[in-house]
Amino acid sequence: MRRREFITLVGGAAAIWPLVTKAQQPAGPVIGFMNAGSSKGLGRLAVAFRQGLSESGFVENQNITIEYRWAEGHIEQLPAMAADLVRRHVSIIAATGTQADLAAKAATTTIPIVFETAGDPIALGLVGSLNRPSRNVTGITQLSSELVAKRLGLLHDLVPHAKTVGFLVNPTDPRFVSQTKDIQEAAKRFGVQIQVVNASTDAEIESAFAELGQLRVGALVVGTGEFFNSRPEKIVGLADRQHIPAMYQYRGFAEAGGLISYGPHITDAYRQAGIYTSRILKGEKLGDLPVVQATKFEMVINRKAAKTLGLTIPSGVLSIADEVIEDAS
């Protein structure tokens, strides 16, 4: 993106944001909600966040106001969005997704921040300790990025004949290096070769799948990150077109027709973020709130996708699945 285009894009967005809040006076404290994805693709997660708030008595437009900032995949907008929330003196920032977390942390050292991340918050530099978070930041970690090796193992059980496995990863994601290293190391244990393909835009996703087809990979692991997570239908559709068995991070991909997903229960993580936001609004000291680690994980298999791919799901894999989406035909 050219500099002039970027300035116009960010400036235009900043000009629109004030119109959202001038329509009425805020109801109670104002919460800034940030995410790198889209409201269309990840709106259900905002619902889970509001559920966590409501469990503690905070209801949007009744006794709290939520200012939403969706980057729609334009990661470069996140710093400007965070800065705008700081200028508005919001009571707290709920930064959901790793890239939004880092942008919020860089924008303020005084406004409380509740993060939600799939990565290791210490390695990412969000906190110095899980038990005693420093400064103004605490939150929820799914540690989903650390499950890349586990996903490869489950996919290998489903497609044992695949000797070359693709790994779709976003090179602009902060976990790019660690995820790639983890899957390369795991590949040695399973005797497979990894072909890494990169994508950080919609056009690059299309190109990445074209490359995967040329490489004739036998299976695919899709990396973590809000950019991919807000495009399940697109990614699943491209994998289906190339006839590639794929492993995904969250159940939304399996629900969209993907073969299998394994990861934390993401809606529960967002609900927990809402609960933590409520506790801070009620006066609890942020430094006394340890980082919450995910305890709910789920594996979802789509039997219809397996049938389309000509795969027989091993009984051992079926027995440990939390849910099997049956063929409706």
| Distance from C-alpha of 21 to C-alpha of 85, rounded to nearest angstrom | 12
pLDDT digits (tens, 9 = 90+) for 231-289: 899 999 999 999 999 999 989 999 999 999 999 888 899 999 999 999 999 999 888 89
Q: What is the pLDDT of residue 296?
A: 81
Q: What is the pLDDT of residue 29?
A: 95
Residue 183 is which amino acid? Answer: I
| Distance from C-alpha of 75 to C-alpha of 98, rounded to nearest angstrom | 11
Question: Per-residue confidence at 15, pLDDT binned at 50, 70, 90?
Answer: very low
Tell me the mean pLDDT in the region 55-64: 95
- Helix, strand, coil percent content, the chain, rounded in steps of 5: 45, 20, 35
- Determine what percent of the chain is predicted with pLDDT higher than 70: 91
Closest CA to 84 of 28, 4, 10: 10
What are all long-range contacts of 156-160, with beta carbons under 8 Å and residues at least 24 apart? Answer: 156/190, 156/192, 156/219, 157/314, 157/316, 157/317, 158/219, 158/245, 158/259, 158/260, 158/306, 158/311, 158/313, 158/314, 158/317, 159/218, 159/219, 159/245, 159/311
Question: Per-residue confidence at 16, pLDDT binned at 50, 70, 90?
Answer: very low
* Domain 145-264+297-325 belongs in CATH node 3.30.365.10: no
- Listed by start position, the domains of the chain span 3-141+266-293, 145-264+297-325
* Fold agreement (3-141+266-293, 145-264+297-325): yes
Residue 7 has pLDDT above 70, yes or no: no
pTM above 0.85, yes or no: no
Question: Per-residue confidence at 75, pLDDT binned at 50, 70, 90?
Answer: confident
**SS3 state of residue 329:** coil
pLDDT digits (tens, 9 = 90+) for 120-148: 899 899 999 999 887 899 999 987 656 88
Tell me which of 260 and 38 has the higher pLDDT.
260
Q: Which CATH architecture has domain 3-141+266-293?
A: 3-Layer(aba) Sandwich (3.40)
pLDDT digits (tens, 9 = 90+) for 39-59: 887 888 999 999 999 999 999
Average pLDDT, the chain: 89
Q: What is the pLDDT of residue 328?
A: 55
pLDDT digits (tens, 9 = 90+) for 178-228: 889 999 999 999 999 999 999 999 999 999 999 999 999 999 999 988 889
